[in-house]
Amino acid sequence: MQSTVIAPSILSANFARLGEEVDNVLKAGADWVHFDVMDNHYVPNLTIGPMVCEALRKHGVTAPIDVHLMVEPVDRIVPDFAKAGASLISFHPEASAHVHRTIQLIKSHGCQAGLVLNPATPVDVLEWVLEDLDMVLLMSVNPGFGGQSFIPSALEKLRRVRAMIDRSGKPIRLEIDGGVKADNIGEIAAAGADTFVAGSAIFNAPDYADVIARMKDAVAKARA
Ligand SMILES: O=C(CO)[C@H](O)[C@H](O)COP(=O)(O)O
């Protein structure tokens, strides 16, 4: 399994002070920045694009930026995000006509590639592309909004995808996104996740360092 990564979702940050918010979560122990891109078409919400990613890089953010594309179509925005400083770009198979081609496109622009499965998307979609991926992202809420509750069936899905990744023998990350909190992250880690997106649980907390430390501690205990 890969090292533990806590990736705060900036969807729940104060957008009026985004650079400062990102600096603060990174100083508080976060490993990555999770960057949710919504297009009001693939999902019923509208957020941020490559200009904001580039602005964070210009602001001085050097941590990996983990871009989660909830957009359709996918391919035409990939080069812009790569140029803007994305480290990893993940997309939904339902939003790409040619999943294998999109993975290759992301890699050809120097980024790592991830595939995102919605709560109702079967794991079979991974079968012929798993070994080309750097990360699988399992949604434990329906995408579009922060602050939703964790869907418990994601735990069994994590166990299945963990087994697939382990069988592949490849260093593929398994990320979980949606309703992750300090009080359920241990159970989620035990089911096989190594990379944890948390939005409201971190940005709504009074002390970012305290909640991130409690999350890391719970993951370490689950992995011990
Ligand atoms: O991709 C997302 C929603 O589509 C968000 O990253 C996710 O929901 C995180 O927010 P929270 O931790 O508050 O559930």
Contact in structure between 187 and 155 (CB atoms under 8 Å)? yes
pLDDT of residue 1: 86
Percent of the chain past pLDDT 90, that is, above it, reads 100
**pTM value > 0.80:** yes
Ligand 1 center to residue 146 CA distance, Å?
4
Select which of 31, 36, 66, 134 is catalytic. Answer: 36
List pLDDT tens digits, range 128-183.
Answer: 999 999 999 999 999 999 999 999 999 999 999 999 999 999 999 999 999 999 99
Q: Does ligand 1 have an atom closer than 6 angstroms to the CB of 66?
A: no
Residue 46 CA, ligand 1 centroid: distance in Å? 14
Q: Is the CB of 8 under 6 A from ligand 1?
A: no
86 lines ligand 1 (CB under 6 A): no
Q: Given a cut of 90, is residue 218 above it in pLDDT?
A: yes
Determine the average pLDDT of the residues in 212-224.
Answer: 97
**Closest ligand 1 atom, residue 139 Cα:** 1
Q: What percent of the chain has pLDDT over 70?
A: 100
Q: Is 199 in the pocket of ligand 1 (CB under 6 A)?
A: yes
Tracing tokens 């939904």 back to the chain, one arrives at: 92
Q: 3-class secondary structure for the chain? A: CCCCEEEEEHHHCCHHHHHHHHHHHHHCCCCCEEEEEEECCCCCCECCCHHHHHHHHHHCCCCCEEEEEECCCCHHHHHHHHHHCCCEEEECHHHCCCHHHHHHHHHHCCCEEEEEECCCCCHHHHCCCHHHCCEEEEECCCCCCCCCCCCCCHHHHHHHHHHHHHHHCCCCEEEEECCCCCCCHHHHHHCCCCEEEECHHHHCCCCHHHHHHHHHHHHHHHHC
